Amino acid sequence: MAEPNTASPPTRQVLLQRLFLKDCSLEVPLGAQVFARQWTPAIDVQINSAISGIGENLYQVVLSVTVTAKLGDDVGFLAEVHQAGIFMITGFANEAEVQGVLGGYCPNVVFPFAREAIAELTQRGSFPPVLLQPINFEGLYMEHLAKQRQSAEISAAGDASGVVLQ
């Protein structure tokens, strides 16, 4: 008689190994002239993430945050931060689950540090601190997956009908 399998499944773990500021910069193209103007900028925020494997079960997640303050056609300042985290991820059943953790959970961990760096950087430049609003990276990742699925379905439908989509 075969013995029942009593081995428990591996424990899922996401362990933050390190947070670090990979790069940051503040540019003030107008120099001191920017402070002689009325400060009513249009603020543009761009956020991107990049994921790379750096070892067995080790991943680097880098959030790139770029904030541009424009005064009309002129740039008041350009602040850029690349905040990174190193995560050890083990015990997940498949690569799709790991990618979900890397695309949703990990950026949520790194973002508060990027937000703080942007606020401090702009304040050190003698500007009002830019306070970035919280972002639901897990929701954004799910939207990204849905768009990928939709694109794949459209592509498959186009291939099946012989129509080439451009």
Q: What is the largest CA-CA distance in the chain?
A: 87
CATH architecture of 13-135: Roll (3.10)
Of the listed ranges 7-11, 75-79, 149-153, the least confidently predicted one is 7-11
**pTM > 0.85:** no
- What the block records as the tokens of 25 is 């910069």
Supply the pLDDT for residue 10. Answer: 74
Residues 26 and 13: their CA atoms lie apart, in Å, by: 36
Assess contact for 122 and 128: CB atoms under 8 A: yes
Assess contact for 127 and 120: CB atoms under 8 A: no
35-69 pLDDT per residue, tens: 999 999 999 999 999 999 999 999 999 999 999 99
The arrangement of strands across the sheet holding 13-27 comes to 13-27, 74-90, 58-71, 42-55
Q: Which helix (H) or strand (E) holds 95?
A: helix 95-100
Residues 91 and 78: their CA atoms lie apart, in Å, by: 41
- What the block records as the tokens of 152 is 């794949």
Q: What is the mean pLDDT of the chain?
A: 91
86-113 pLDDT per residue, tens: 999 999 989 999 999 999 999 999 999 9
